[in-house]
Structure 1
Amino acid sequence: MKKPLSDRLFFGGFLLSLVFIAMTYGIVSSWWGWFPAPQLGLAHRTYLDVSTNWKNDLGLEPTRHLVPPNDTGDVSAERGFALAPGASPQPGYTLIAGLSDDQETSEHVVRMFDATGTEVHRWPIEYDNFDPIIPPQNVMLHGMEVFEDGSIVATFDTGQAIARVDACGATMWSVRGGFHHSITRSGDGGLWTWEGDDMVRLDEETGEKTFTLSLVRDVIPANDGEQRATFDIRTIEPNEADEGLMYLYDPFHPNDVEMLRPEMADAFPMFEAGDLLFSLRELNLVAVVDPKTGILRWSQHGPWLKQHDPDFHADGTITVFDNATGTGRSLIRRVDPQTGEMSTEFAGNEVLPFYTWRRGKHQYLPNGNLLLTNAEHGRVLEVGPEGRIVWTRDMVWDANSNLIITEARHIPKSFFEQGVPRCNDGVDAQ
């Protein structure tokens, strides 16, 4: 028997209502991260990751560590070390962290080069000595600090350890935990880094944790009104260089912290020695916090986008590595936190394009040159004050790929107490 028209209309309206409710919930759950949006997002990311990197995870090819040499896809040009004619590089050594170019071992290493581009030492960083759970090929050597005795401290992306090794790679100490991104010496025997959403200080001699400042438990509750709103911006992240932005589970993505040293404090009258400069990538936020109270002394959202590596400078300014994700052009910016005055220090040019959509480091050298880490194209470069090329180095893996570079660091020639570290690694200085 055919149902009355009124029943059919009611049933149709009911179905349309269910569809409308489902669509509305889908939109709202995606926006606010309600069930099942996070679970579906995680499943999708896992599928993409496994399908892209299965060779890496089986130890066949380090796909997680490989990047194209440039944005154009043209790999015909000769790659390696190139010193510009007549250029004057900063004397000393450049340390570069990443995967080894030895395709037989594919181990994590820190390599050191002199001003002529010659490799003079390398530190093997054997992750499985610090953490027996995560396969070494599935983590990425990221943060790195070097010591006058020739030892190295290293942190790892997606890893669960931080460690100090001697000049030959033997473990001096290691600590398990969710340490990540960067690590910075404070000059007073401490190392500052992030563990999850906590800024932590470690004793550089033992690895012992001596101080913790929690972003969630200490800093956010300590700031009221407009300062509390500093942390209330919805966050987005790209999954790939050529994709758009998407909402995700990581609301802050802290990626740098360093202490204002006493010898530089007079240049920053609005801060005090011991204050902490930090970066939250997902909020496009750079800020300075009083570690004793958790109160922000200064903060600024942008104009940088997905930035890394803010640094204090002796002239009272802060420089920031602006990834400018999605724009195709990364920049080094300088800001005066007291006046708000802003300048662009380096932005590449047609001759020297410069873009890394994530990661990246910068370091100002004593002669005024700038050392840049173009992580996502596997290139380190030194440029002069006018943006002229001094030298470039591609970390070549094969004819089509470079190795991701997570950190490059310059040190003076007189840095080491006993001269250049020596081991039986085949690349010691003669």
Structure 2
Amino acid sequence: MAWIRERPTGLVYHDGQLTEPGFALVPQAHRVALVDQAGQTAHEWPIAQVASARLADDGRLIALMAGDPQTPARIANGEIEGILELAPDGEVLWEYRGDLLHHDARRLADGRYHALGFYPLSPEQTQAVQGGCPHRDDPKEMWSDTIELIGRDGQRESLWRAGDHLDPATQQICPLDKRQEWTHGNSIRILPNGNWLLSLRLTNMIIQIDHQSGKILWEWGSHTLSHQHDARLLDNGNILIFDNGIHRKRTPSFARVIEMDPKTEKVVWQYTDKTILAFQSFMAGSAQRLQNGNTFITEAATGRLFQVTPEGETVWEWVNPVLAESQFGPTPTVYRSTWYGLSDPRLPTGLAQ
């Protein structure tokens, strides 16, 4: 997707009656900013090379640190160099630097983290993986995903490995992708019962994992999703997913947000742009259901953040005006953004109402 230079930036549209009031937390080139519904910066943390960020229950900013944007990824896009926790004034309160982490990490109530990581499959496991587009340069050991449990002392306490639990017969790589990786996890969520909800981009799958045994409890998506991101459980028990639409079968590539019922495995709600190809993101992206029923969407590649009503009407839209260096050149990309309501206690002092 090309970036259109003349596209408006900053606040594009705001319906004061239908917008869920609050702030968007936005990682930018040299800071993380809280942007209010008027499009103005209400608070910022000066910190460079942040892949994504969120506010913890104690008000700390959790920042996942990206590597040098102009250095090619060792394994795949989405690699992160570490995790930082910052006070509202920007002071670093905790730091973890790890090798082969990528995409996402979630803090538990006791302060430990579950983080996604890479590891090499054995040659035998690599050979068993199905799908993908074979090439003479394919590695003898392709990469797959781990879930690491990281303690507050920085020590790894446990490790889940995809190759020990996933079935190559059902978790098949998209036929248009290379065989460098098997799964390419891009989000992890901790469910109320402690289990893990993962999005696996290359196999077009959402899976639920038993956090004690490591067994796969449920999987869905291979006939519906197209290189999706950011699967999250809603209060009604359904799952909200940003479906990027790359390599979508029998149609052009277009993005959508879907809500699916895991009991029936049916899509019960979706958002697409009325001009179907106007909503696209070849990478990343996220979707969040808000208290008033709106859905807050991050169209990552273009840096476009917007709220839509249940009927699909756009009621708030803001485009990141800050270009950052990347392997693609200067881009306004926002990997993931989160909306915080006006009364959210996680907001810095003076912002919560």
Which category of TM-score, normalised to the shorter sequence, fits these structures?
0.7 to 0.9
**Greater Rg over alpha carbons, structure:** 1
1:412 to 341, 349, 353: 341
SS at match of 2:33: strand
Instruction: State the Cα deviation string for residues 371-422 of structure 1 (Å, max 9, x = none).
Output: 1111111111111111111111111247x975110111012223346x6358
2:144 aligned with 1:214 = no
The residue correspondences of 1:36-51 to structure 2 (distance < 5 A) are none
Whole-angstrom distance in 1 between the partners of 2:7 and 2:197: 40
CA 1:387–1:397: 2 relative to 1, 3 Å: same
- Read off the aligned partner of 1:403 and give its amino acid letter: P
Q: Which residue of 2 aligns with 1:322?
A: 243
CA 1:112–1:185: 2 relative to 1, 3 Å: same
Instruction: State the Cα deviation string for residues 43-95 of structure 1 (Å, max 9, x = none).
Output: xxxxxxxxxxxxxxxxxxxxxxxx844xxx4x435322123355432122210
> If each structure's helix is expressed as a fraction of its own residues, which one has the higher value?
1
Identity across aligned pairs (percent)? 24
Whole-angstrom distance in 2 between the partners of 1:402 and 1:88: 30
Q: Which residue of 2 aligns with 1:111?
A: 33
The residue correspondences of 1:321-400 to structure 2 (distance < 5 A) are 321-326=242-247, 327-350=252-275, 353-397=278-322
In 2, are the aligned partners of 1:97 and 1:111 still within 8 Å (CA)? yes
Q: Which residue of 1 aligns with 2:52?
A: 143
Q: Which residue of 1 aligns with 2:122?
A: none
SS at match of 1:320: strand
SS at match of 1:376: helix
Q: Which residue of 2 aligns with 1:182?
A: 104
Instruction: State the Cα deviation string for residues 281-318 of structure 1 (Å, max 9, x = none).
Output: 11111111112112111111241110111111222211
The residue correspondences of 1:57-72 to structure 2 (distance < 5 A) are 68-69=2-3
Whole-angstrom distance in 2 between the partners of 1:352 and 1:409: 24
CA 1:124–1:283: 2 relative to 1, 3 Å: same
In 2, are the aligned partners of 1:235 and 1:248 still within 8 Å (CA)? no
Q: Which residue of 2 aligns with 1:79?
A: 9
- Read off the aligned partner of 1:257 and give its amino acid letter: I
- Read off the aligned partner of 2:181 and give its amino acid letter: D
Q: Which residue of 1 aligns with 2:210?
A: 290
- Read off the aligned partner of 2:52 and give its amino acid letter: G
CA 1:397–1:257: 2 relative to 1, 3 Å: closer
Q: Which residue of 2 aligns with 1:198?
A: 146
After TM superposition, give the deviation of residue 329 of structure 1 in Å.
1.4
Given the two structures, how large is their TM-score scaled by the length of structure 1?
Answer: 0.64
Whole-angstrom distance in 2 between the partners of 1:171 and 1:214: 31
- Read off the aligned partner of 2:338 and give its amino acid letter: R
Whole-angstrom distance in 1 between the partners of 2:24 and 2:15: 19
Whole-angstrom distance in 2 between the partners of 1:206 and 1:390: 44
2:91 to 170, 179, 183: 170
User: Structure 1 regions of 5+ residues with no counterpart?
Assistant: 1-66, 100-106, 127-139, 221-226, 237-244, 262-272, 423-427
In 2, are the aligned partners of 1:255 and 1:280 still within 8 Å (CA)? yes
CA 1:368–1:85: 2 relative to 1, 3 Å: closer
Q: Which residue of 2 aligns with 1:60?
A: none
In 1, are the aligned partners of 2:14 and 2:37 still within 8 Å (CA)? no
After TM superposition, give the deviation of residue 152 of structure 1 in Å.
1.3
In 1, are the aligned partners of 2:303 and 2:332 still within 8 Å (CA)? yes
After TM superposition, give the deviation of residue 149 of structure 1 in Å.
4.3
Q: Which residue of 1 aligns with 2:43?
A: 121
How large is the Cα RMSD of the aligned pairs?
Answer: 2.8
In 1, are the aligned partners of 2:28 and 2:322 still within 8 Å (CA)? no
SS at match of 1:229: coil
- Read off the aligned partner of 1:252 and give its amino acid letter: T
Given the two structures, how large is their TM-score scaled by the length of structure 2?
Answer: 0.77
